[in-house]
């Protein structure tokens, strides 16, 4: 029995539907697990900031991260996703903005739309990362209420406006300057770093950080091992973060700019960047904290061109950044007397600049699918836009909070520790119990 033309056409149609469904499911599953891995970034920030704090501030430092995570989920749903879709061309609202309105069908449990929810989830975790970047720099003196307000401003408004401009195929920085920032070294890290700079100028240093004669006094966190584990968790989470920076399509992988890419390039260059940054930072500091911070430096330094670099080049670029960025942090702290407790301005803000400009030097002339080819001039102009976009809102918002007494804890609260005044719990209650004073009687080994 031979098949009729109708039978063949029906089978082909069924096969086409099956392939389309398989692609859709594969894309959903891929971004689902990218988002899950990104949660490790926030577990990492939680651990490394608590470890970098003195024990009297450990819980307050951790709670900041948890509050940012919790508040940015609804904030990005109600406002943030709409901003990203609304403003790629500048401050003119695009037609695509309607898909990001909370009452849109795309923003509900509509089984016909198998993309909005999963991309919203990934972008929400990007937003929470910007708040966590700021969080570490402010430990041990910022009020939880003030921090939470700043976290929402940075993560639900400022960062994603920058993402719409330069991390979107129709973003005006892309179409006008050929801007290329595939792993968001500028859109996430640089903007958050310069937002943090604006906040720290109003927040001021911790009590005792600087002597009257200008001497810098070291304030050591209570658990270096906790910080190192936290930073390693962030490295793990970066694989989810970077996976969310690549677009899965039926035709293959592309970047956010519709240029060809693949996971092989991301795998090579991510690990080579991590290794380069760690080695560079270790050689110039011999400090375990900065060695692990070097892993972040390495990924950010090569992040803008992660899809373009030969792995050896990514290693050298990140190695150089690992050698330089810790020294720039010393200038921030010692020369400008800005008390950045974890080096966030240098690690994220200055390395974000490095990553953006490195593409302009190392990949100049490479074509973007939208707008002109990559150029140093275009990367530099976009970097200036991001610096202003990050710094001005951070400074202005923190200035207003400072004027209303909502930014910084009182001197008394800072001296006794924010855990006593901001958190109704104790991180290490055993330390407050004198030896052998527990309810149970002490029995010596001889007995």
Domain range annotation of the chain: 20-421
Question: 3-state DSSP: the chain helix, strand, coil percent, rounded to 5?
Answer: 70, 5, 30
Which pLDDT band holds residue 436 (cuts at 50, 70, 90)? Answer: very low
Q: What pLDDT is stored for residue 442 in this prediction?
A: 46
pTM reported for the whole predicted model: 0.92
C-alpha to C-alpha distance for 391 and 193, rounded to whole angstroms: 8
Q: Is the pLDDT of residue 248 over 90?
A: no
Whether residue 364 contacts residue 374, with contact meaning beta carbons closer than 8 Å, is answered with yes
Nearest Cα to Cα of residue 430 among 55, 68, 121: 55
Q: What pLDDT is stored for residue 7 in this prediction?
A: 65
Which pLDDT band holds residue 116 (cuts at 50, 70, 90)? Answer: confident
Whether residue 45 contacts residue 38, with contact meaning beta carbons closer than 8 Å, is answered with no
Average pLDDT score, the chain: 91
Q: Which two tokens stand for residue 246?
A: 């690549």
Backbone angles phi, psi at 34, to 5 degrees: -60, -45
C-alpha to C-alpha distance for 108 and 46, rounded to whole angstroms: 31
> Which of 21-35, 318-332, 413-427 is predicted most confidently?
318-332
Rounded to 5°, the CA angle 140-217-417 comes to 25
Q: What pLDDT is stored for residue 445 in this prediction?
A: 45
Q: What pLDDT is stored for residue 9 in this prediction?
A: 63
Question: pLDDT digit string (tens) for 319-329?
Answer: 999 999 999 99
Contacts of residue 100, Cβ cutoff 8 Å, sequence gap at least 6 = 81, 82, 83, 84, 85, 86, 106, 107
Biggest alpha carbon–alpha carbon distance for the chain:
98
Backbone angles phi, psi at 161, to 5 degrees: -70, -45
Q: Is the pLDDT of residue 441 over 90?
A: no
Whether residue 33 contacts residue 110, with contact meaning beta carbons closer than 8 Å, is answered with no
Question: pLDDT digit string (tens) for 330-369?
Answer: 999 999 999 999 999 999 999 999 999 999 999 999 998 7
Q: What pLDDT is stored for residue 443 in this prediction?
A: 46
Domain 20-421 CATH superfamily: Ammonium transporter AmtB like domains (1.10.3430.10)
C-alpha to C-alpha distance for 97 and 143, rounded to whole angstroms: 35
Radius of gyration of the chain (CA): 24
**119 burial via Cβ count (<10 Å: 0-12, 13-18, 19+):** middle
């Amino acid at each position: 029995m031979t098949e009729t033309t109708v039978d063949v056409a029906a089978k082909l149609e069924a096969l086409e539907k099956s392939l389309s469904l398989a692609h859709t499911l594969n894309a959903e599953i891929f971004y689902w697990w990218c988002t899950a891995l990104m949660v490790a970034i926030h577990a990492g920030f939680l651990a490394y900031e608590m470890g970098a704090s003195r024990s009297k501030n450990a819980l307050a430092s951790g709670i900041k991260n948890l509050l940012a995570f919790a508040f940015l989920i609804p904030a990005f749903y109600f406002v943030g996703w709409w901003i990203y879709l609304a403003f790629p061309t500048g401050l003119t609202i695009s037609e695509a903005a309607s898909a990001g309105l909370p009452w849109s069908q795309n923003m509900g449990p509509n089984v016909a739309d198998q993309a909005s929810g999963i991309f919203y989830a990934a972008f929400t975790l990007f937003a929470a990362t910007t708040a966590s970047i700021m969080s570490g720099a402010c430990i041990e003196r910022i009020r939880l209420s003030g921090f939470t307000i700043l976290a929402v401003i940075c993560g639900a408004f400022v960062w994603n406006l920058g993402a719409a401009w330069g991390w979107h195929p129709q973003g005006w920085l892309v179409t006008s300057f050929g801007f290329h920032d595939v792993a968001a070294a500028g859109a996430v890290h640089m903007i958050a770093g310069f937002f943090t700079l604006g906040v720290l100028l109003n927040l001021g240093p911790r009590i005792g950080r600087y002597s009257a004669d200008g001497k810098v006094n070291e304030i050591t966190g209570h658990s270096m091992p906790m910080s190192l584990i936290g930073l390693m968790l962030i490295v793990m989470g970066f694989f989810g973060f970077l996976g969310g920076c690549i677009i899965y399509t039926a035709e293959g992988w592309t970047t956010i700019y519709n240029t060809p890419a693949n996971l092989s390039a991301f795998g090579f260059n991510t690990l080579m960047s991590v290794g380069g940054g760690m080695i560079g930072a270790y050689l110039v500091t011999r400090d375990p904290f900065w060695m692990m911070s070097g892993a972040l430096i390495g990924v950010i330094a090569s992040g803008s061109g992660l899809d373009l670099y030969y792995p050896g080049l990514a290693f050298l670029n990140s190695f150089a950044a690992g050698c330089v960025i810790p020294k720039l942090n010393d200038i921030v702290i010692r020369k400008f007397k800005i008390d950045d407790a974890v080096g966030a301005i240098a690690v994220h803000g200055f390395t974000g600049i490095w990553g953006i400009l490195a593409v302009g030097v190392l990949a100049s002339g490479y074509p973007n699918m939208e707008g002109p080819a990559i150029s140093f001039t275009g990367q530099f102009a976009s970097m200036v836009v991001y610096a202003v976009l990050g710094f001005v809102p951070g400074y202005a918002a923190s200035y207003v909070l400072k004027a209303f007494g909502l930014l910084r804890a009182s001197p008394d609260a800072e001296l006794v520790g924010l855990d006593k005044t901001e958190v109704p719990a104790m991180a290490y209650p055993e330390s407050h119990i004198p030896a052998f004073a527990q309810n149970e009687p002490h029995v010596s080994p001889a007995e």
